[in-house]
A and B are shown apart, each in its own frame.
Chain A
Amino acid sequence: MEELRSQLRQYIEDTFLMGVRAEPLADDASFLEHHVLDSTGFLELIAYLEETCAIKVADDEMVPENLDSIDSLVAFIGRKRAA
């Protein structure tokens, strides 16, 4: 799980933050509230998850509880893989 967490953090940093934040984004920080991702950003994130994490995100799983922070992503992917 720590490897997954680190991989996701790196993806968010490289793709969306690009090193311009003064403070690193906390793992429980909301992407929406911190304006890290907009709706196109979430589509890109989902494409990344489906390509690299070997999961398929269903329409009804596209909710903030699953996708809106590093913590929620790690938990969501963990649940998907365990299912």
Chain B
Amino acid sequence: MASGAFPSSSLPRLDCAAEAERICRWMVEALASRLHRRGFVVALSGGVDSSVCAALAVRAVGAGKVYGLLLPERDSSTFSTERALRLVRQLGIAHEVFDIGPALEALGCYERRDAAIRRLLPSYGAGWRNKIVIAGGLEGGINYFKLVVESPDRVRHEVRLPAREYLEIVAATNFKQRVRKTMDYFHADRLHRAVIGTPNRLEFELGFFVKLGDGAADLKPIAHLYKTQVYAMARWLGLPEDICTAEPTTDTYTLPQGQDEFYFALPYRRMDLALWSIDHGASGARLASVLEVAESQARRIHLDVEAKRRASRYLHATAETIEPIGCADA
């Protein structure tokens, strides 16, 4: 993987051919030697991360051993499903489209989320749209979240989320990632295959995933790649243009929402630079120079990254046991 001097405005160039070769070799080795499964299952969101993972899986083991899942629900963008369908056709992999909306309805995902929203904004109802936006941290404050809703006649309302409502809305929407993972493992069990997790480095290292939801997988082929490197890999793999240029979104809330609005607080190109610099031991002054911000702002970004890394430990952790037990630590 590329490394070296601190970048000025972008990361060091990734040798995509060599990196794809390295990842594919590792995927086959993991599958056959450690996971002992016959192929891969990958859920496709229509975004660049899952698309690159699927394409790498096909390079690694062939299209016949890769099964794609498209798992829309009522808040998903139809563009996401269309992009994912174009990808499976290009890759030539077997796939299934399964609407998880009824399962989410039955679990009370939408009802519980909407009830929490209505406690803050009683007029919220059918036809309204919503999203959660992060605030505070990069202005020198403490991170907090705002609920943004839009009425059917396009009037926006914004309110700071108290702890109880914030936690309930996030818990309800986390049903989406956990139900998707249930479907991933249904097909993985049925086909005796391994589940591919699709986080990029920003998501993996800074904890932008749902524990036992999209965070659950048997292998994560691009967890070491920064987001801009994933885009470079997508182009090198020849993926459809609209996937190579797709902006990262959560595709979880009903209003359009960038990942930077919800979690990262910086657009991914700048977040990549920040994380790469911090991962490579950059000082505050160096980080400020790389990001072209004041040192005080660079310090706040650094603190935000450290806080997110700490928070991600819980998400990555397996269950605590009082002492090491048998094969779990083998």
Contacts and interface: CB of A to CB of B under 8 A. Distances in A.
B141 A62 contact: yes
B307 A38 contact: yes
B167 A63 contact: no
A39 B143 contact: yes
29 contacts: A32-B303, A32-B307, A35-B310, A38-B307, A38-B310, A39-B137, A39-B142, A39-B143, A40-B163, A42-B142, A42-B143, A43-B144, A43-B145, A43-B161, A43-B163, A43-B166, A46-B162, A47-B162, A47-B164, A50-B162, A59-B135, A59-B144, A59-B160, A62-B136, A62-B142, A62-B144, A63-B140, A64-B141, A68-B142
A70 interface: no
B160 A63 contact: no
Given A46-B162, A62-B142, A63-B142, A40 B307 contact: no
Nearest to A33: B303
B142 A67 contact: yes
B103 interface: no
A72 B93 CA distance: 59
Nearest to B170: A40
B122 to A, nearest CB: 19
A43 B132 CA distance: 15
A28 interface: no
Interface of B: 135-137, 140-145, 160-164, 166-167, 303, 307, 310-311
Given A38-B310, A38-B311, A64-B142, A59 B136 contact: yes
A26 to B, nearest CB: 20
A42 B144 contact: yes
B164 A39 contact: no
Given A39-B137, A40-B163, 9 more contacts: A35-B310, A40-B166, A40-B167, A43-B145, A44-B163, A59-B136, A59-B144, A62-B142, A64-B141
Interface in A28-62: 32, 35, 38-40, 42-44, 46-47, 50, 59-60, 62
Nearest to B162: A47
Residue in A40, A44, A60, A68 with the greatest tally of chain B CB atoms within 10 Å:
A40
A47 B167 CA distance: 13
B262 to A, nearest CB: 13
A68 B143 CA distance: 13
A39 B307 contact: yes
Report which residue of B141, B142, B145, B161 has the largest number of chain A beta carbons within 10 angstroms of its beta carbon.
B142
A47 B163 contact: yes
A47 B164 CA distance: 8
Contacts of B145: 43
B310 A39 contact: no
B160 to A, nearest CB: 6
Contacts of A64: 141-142
A49 to B, nearest CB: 11
Nearest to A43: B163
A62 B143 CA distance: 8
B169 to A, nearest CB: 12
B198 to A, nearest CB: 25
A27 to B, nearest CB: 19
